[in-house]
Amino acid sequence: MNAPSHDTATTAFETLAVHAAEPRPAHGGSVVHPLYQGTVFESVPGESYDELKYIRLNTNPSQQHLHEKLAALEGAEAAVATASGMAAITTTLLATLAAGDHVIAAGSFYGGTHHFLTEQAPRLGWNVDFVGPDDHDAWAEAMRPRTKAFLVETISNPLARVADLAGIAAFSREHGITSIIDNTFATPVVFRPHTIGFDLVCHSATKALNGHSDLVAGVVTGTEEAIGRIRHVLNLYGGSLDPHAGFLLARGLKTLALRVRQQNTGSLALARFLEGHKGIAQVNHPGLESHPDHARATELFDGYGSVFSFRPTGGVEAAESLLKGLRLPYVAPSLGGVESLVTRPAVTSHAGMSAEEREAEGIHDDLIRFSTGIEAPDDLIADFAQALGA
């Protein structure tokens, strides 16, 4: 492919999102990179297995176009797309760990990831230690001769905590272990983990990268060498992304910066409004001065993300009646789409945890999580004002 190379450090994200990895002259003259849905392509003499043009081997031209675009957006050498966010995380771990190896996991995790680490990792002979996200002593104590990886999420769900990410990247480098970060909640618009030294960045592209709540996909970015290893494992386990979903994802990516910046603006405006409302007891938004990780988020991020949480005064009953009173957001889990979504984690994303575990983490039964869409911030605020007034 004859794509012009863009300096991903100096070209604005908005420009990269539209132009990165788009060949010039355009492929067949088509301004939109064409969708190749074919499963197989004519062989070239001397091809190795991984070079065969076959859909599961991630060598279909539409898949490769998507990979180049994703790498540019995370500022990485290479990327590979997967059939889901979970496929991105599990394939990355499968390519990094062997039986008997050990992984350090910092902070709290997406439900699927937590479930995988506690239920499936032991079946694979992996040892997992969960540690505090800022507890350097605990990280050092957790280190074993066979520690191979350190896993963390950029912004935690649903309390929007931000771990000592720079510390984790540096610790991993110092100990020669692979640092892996799930950057789904931030997106590369808010934070690019490779710039502070993370080795591998995973995403659920189902969320903001696609942004339209209409496909499931995942992404891993890193060096050519690391992504080559992960792609090899992906090709064998078979969690490759269908090119049609990839085509839609590439379309979604072009507006990523516009969507995320609008979501960030709406999210912070709404959080400020709620913090000042007598019907709200607590707001967890890293853009608020009251958030414990506000300073860290301000230092590391460009914007504070679209997802935050809050507790109404009046407990679960007040939370449920607020959910009923809102007119714009859909009551649904997931996040990162153009439409605002609202959910009560205790009965959705975190229902798998015991009530005691949830309380210990601060995920109270009356906690509400809000994923801000691209609606006008004033309309979202007006909707909350009417719902809280009712």
Ligand X SMILES: *Cc1c(COP(=O)(O)O)cnc(C)c1O
Binding site for ligand X (CB under 6 A): 84-86, 110, 112-113, 153, 182, 184-185, 204, 206-207, 216, 218
Contacts of 110 (CB under 8 A, 6+ apart): 85, 153, 157, 182, 184, 204, 349
CB of 281 to ligand X, least distance (A): 26
Complete DSSP assignment for 155-207: S-TTT-----HHHHHHHHHHTT-EEEEE-TTTHHHH--GGGGT-SEEEEETTT
Question: Which one, 233 or 316, has the nearer CB to ligand X?
Answer: 233
Question: Which one, 206 or 235, has the nearer CB to ligand X?
Answer: 206
CB of 111 to ligand X, least distance (A): 8
Label each residue of 17-58 as H, E or C: HHHCCCCCCCHHHCCCCCCCCCCECCCCCCCCHHHCCEHHHC
* Residue 110 annotated among the catalytic residues of the structure: yes
Question: Which one, 91 or 235, has the nearer CB to ligand X?
Answer: 91
CB of 113 to ligand X, least distance (A): 6
Q: Which of 182, 293, 366, 383 is catalytic?
A: 182
Neighbours of 14 (CB within 10 A): 15
Whose structure tokens read 């197989």?
A: 40
Q: From CA 249, how far away is CA 253, in angstroms rounded?
A: 6
CB of 305 to ligand X, least distance (A): 11
Question: Which one, 312 or 373, has the nearer CB to ligand X?
Answer: 373
CA angle 293, 186, 83 (to 5 degrees): 140
Contact 249, 81 (CB under 8 A): yes
Q: From CA 253, how far away is CA 85, in angstroms rounded?
A: 16
CB of 217 to ligand X, least distance (A): 7
* Residue 207 annotated among the catalytic residues of the structure: yes
Q: Which of 53, 69, 148, 207 is catalytic?
A: 207
Contacts of 81 (CB under 8 A, 6+ apart): 58, 63, 66, 67, 70, 205, 217, 218, 219, 240, 241, 246, 249
3-state secondary structure of 9: coil
Contact 369, 350 (CB under 8 A): no
Q: Which of 53, 56, 69, 161 is catalytic?
A: 56
Question: Which one, 207 or 277, has the nearer CB to ligand X?
Answer: 207
3-state secondary structure of 255: coil
* Residue 192 annotated among the catalytic residues of the structure: no
Q: Which of 110, 161, 293, 358 is catalytic?
A: 110
Question: Which one, 62 or 91, has the nearer CB to ligand X?
Answer: 91
Label each residue of 309-346 as H, E or C: EEEECCHHHHHHHHHHHCCCCEECCCCCCCCCEEECHH
User: Which residue number places its CB atom closest to ligand X?
Assistant: 85
Question: Which one, 60 or 206, has the nearer CB to ligand X?
Answer: 206
* Residue 330 annotated among the catalytic residues of the structure: no
Provide the annotated active-site residues.
Answer: 56, 110, 182, 207
